[in-house]
Copies of this chain bind each other. A is one copy, B any other.
Amino acid sequence: MNAPTDIKLYMEDVGRRARAAARVLARSGTDAKNCALLAIASAVRRDLAGLLAANAEDVAAARAAGKDSAFIDRLALTGKSVEAMAQGLEQVASLSDPVGEVSELRERPSGIKVGKMRVPLGVIGVIYESRPNVTADAAALCLKSGNATILRGGSESIRSNRAIAACLHEGLRVAGLPEDAVQVVDTADRAAVGELLQMDRYVDIIVPRGGKGLIERIMAESRIPVIKHLDGVCHVYIDERADLDKAIRIADNAKTQRYGTCNTMEALLVHEAIAPRVLPPLASIYLDKGVELRCDERSRAIIRAALGAESPLVKAATEQDFYTEYLAPILSVRVVSGLDEAMEHIAKYGSQHTDAIVTEDEARARRFLREVDSSSVMVNASTRFADGFEYGLGAEIGISTDKLHARGPVGLEGLTSQKYVVFGTGQVRT
């Protein structure tokens, strides 16, 4: 396909086709959708050489444009990552299909039976950056949930995305599904994103995948609801009644298992009564791993007193530090007077993503679970578990920190909605 010249007309056509395909897809059975997913997986494996060649062109162009090595890493495909793509498609095929499921069916005094039926949202717009594997991953989840998809990846990955799109369309054809069920926006023109975000008559939801800059831009511009989270300022609160071993294990894992993920702990809150026992061993672990600690006065005094010599990694926190998602080996630390102060802190500085309490006190655990207003709230577990796979969703299209519709990791069910269905035998209202 040649690059379109009039972006507005081109996107209008993409939207119209997506809406038409969505209607066909919504009534397609599980077998056809699974058949398409497996056929796409097999096309991806068969076309490995072609995918890698197209990707090599993207990589060469990105290098020539002076992109940094982190960018190239995200852009580059390998035999291994293409195989992972194929396995991801097969895995989505193996998930159960939420569409058509009727629940909560109840007979009413009038004699009608009322229930809810799970149905696709319709058309999903996915806007992402340079990772080509998102093309296959997002298409798979949207397809399985019965939604048509408009995929708009970064312009630097356009050759890779075209090659993956060819596999997607082949799989759809094999299964007898409309090729327009998955469309890859085939233009490097950034105006296409602006158009997509205005097409509320064709697109039901926008899923951005990428950095905060991308998401902020989409939020500001979109007329369509967006499934997103901006920040992951996640907390672990170690309560006075925490088991020390669990507290240390969880606080270590939540920070250091991976530094760059949205569910990584960014601030540690410690009850004043347990701080002298838990902070010294934890600080040793963090400092050994090269984690910089930005401490309030009390935590800093305890750590310094315990560890003796001044460490350049133990610093004084500023107010701003507590609002910060470091995505790096840096941790904010604060001593609090108890559960209430911990929850006040989370309400003020947190981002409603994921927060955990470590305690053996059931009443406090219950209060924390109920009162902390975040998309995932945990007791005695690492914040790193906030993830579609760990939660058993099979896969996730993203994590939402919004309160409406889907909250937390969003899997197939989050890409569907429920309508009311009514079964009567001729009833009328009196």
Q: Which residues of chain B come closer than 8 Å to A369, judged between CB atoms?
A: 117, 421
**Identical subunits present:** 2
Q: When chains A and B are docked, how far (Å) is the Cα of A205 from the Cα of B403?
A: 9
Given known contacts A375-B420, A423-B379, A427-B382, A404 and B405 CB-to-CB distance under 8 angstroms: yes
> Is B381 in contact with A424, judged by CB distance below 8 angstroms?
yes
A257 interface residue per 8 A CB criterion: yes
Q: Is A45 an interface residue (CB 8 A)?
A: no
Chain A 56-81 interface mask (CB, 8 Å, partner B; 1/0): 00000000000000000000000000
Do the beta carbons of B250 and A108 come within 8 Å of each other? no
Q: Tell whether A114 is near chain B: CB-to-CB under 8 Å.
A: yes
A114-B390, A385-B424 are known contacts; what are 16 more A-B pairs with Cβ within 8 Å?
A: A23-B371, A23-B373, A26-B370, A100-B370, A108-B392, A117-B377, A250-B424, A250-B428, A257-B430, A374-B419, A375-B419, A378-B423, A379-B422, A380-B426, A404-B404, A405-B405
Please pick, from B26, B246, B380, B423, the residue contacting A380 in the complex, using a CB distance under 8 A: B423
Q: Is the CB of B421 within 8 A of A378?
A: yes
A85 sits at the interface (CB 8 A): no
In the bound complex, residues from chain B placing their C-beta under 8 Å from that of A370 are 26-27, 100, 117, 119
A→B interface (CB under 8 Å): 23, 26-27, 100, 106, 108, 110, 112, 114, 117, 119, 121-122, 204-205, 225, 243, 245-246, 249-250, 252-254, 257, 347, 356, 367, 369-371, 373-382, 384-386, 390-392, 403-405, 407-409, 417-430
In the bound complex, do residue A379 and residue B428 qualify as a contact, i.e. CB atoms below 8 Å apart?
no
Do the beta carbons of A225 and B376 come within 8 Å of each other?
no
Are B403 and A249 interface neighbours, CB within 8 A?
A: no
- Chain B residue numbers with a CB within 8 Å of A119 are 370, 373
B residues less than 8 Å from A419 (CB atoms) = 373-377, 407-408
> CA separation between A108 and B382, bound complex, in Å?
14
Are A404's CB and B225's CB within 8 A?
yes
7 tightest Cβ-Cβ pairs between the two chains A and B: A381-B424, A253-B428, A246-B426, A378-B422, A384-B429, A408-B420, A380-B424
Q: Are B379 and A121 in contact, CB atoms less than 8 angstroms apart? A: no
Q: Among the listed B26, B204, B249, B427, which residue makes an inter-chain contact with A381, where contact means beta carbons less than 8 Å apart?
A: B427
Kindly identify which residue among B374, B378, B391 contacts A424, using a CB–CB cutoff of 8 Å: B378
Minimum C-beta distance from A134 to chain B (A): 22
- Across the interface, do A112 and B26 meet the contact criterion of CB distance under 8 Å? no
Contacts of A421 in B (CB 8 A): 369, 376-379
B110 touches A390 (CB 8 A): yes
List of B residues within 8 angstroms of A23 by Cβ: 347, 371, 373
- The answer to whether B377 touches A420, judged by C-beta atoms less than 8 angstroms apart, is yes
- Closest approach, in angstroms, between the C-beta of A29 and any C-beta of chain B? 10
Chain B residues with Cβ below 8 Å from A409 are 420
Q: Report the Cα distance A404→B119, complex, angstroms.
A: 11
Which residues from chain B contact A404 at a C-beta distance below 8 Å? Answer: 121, 204-205, 225, 404-405, 417
25 contacts between A and B (CB under 8 A): A27-B367, A27-B370, A100-B370, A110-B385, A112-B381, A114-B392, A117-B370, A117-B377, A121-B403, A204-B403, A225-B225, A225-B404, A377-B421, A379-B423, A379-B424, A380-B423, A380-B425, A380-B427, A381-B424, A381-B427, A385-B424, A385-B427, A403-B417, A407-B420, A408-B420
A390 in complex: contacting residue of B108, B250, B254, B378, CB < 8 Å: B108
Measured between beta carbons, the chain B residues less than 8 angstroms from A252 are: 428
B-side contacts of A418, CB under 8 Å: 407
Chain B contacts for A382, CB-based, 8 A: 424, 427-429
A238 CB to nearest B CB, Å = 12
Contact partner, A420, options B106, B250, B386, Cβ 8 Å: B386
Residues of the B chain whose Cβ atoms lie less than 8 Å from the Cβ of A424: 250, 378-382, 385
Residues of B within 8 A of A420 (CB): 375-377, 386, 391, 407-409
Q: Chain B contacts of A417 at CB under 8 A?
A: 403-404, 407
Chain B contacts for A375, CB-based, 8 A: 419-420
A347–B245 CA distance with the chains assembled, in angstroms: 60
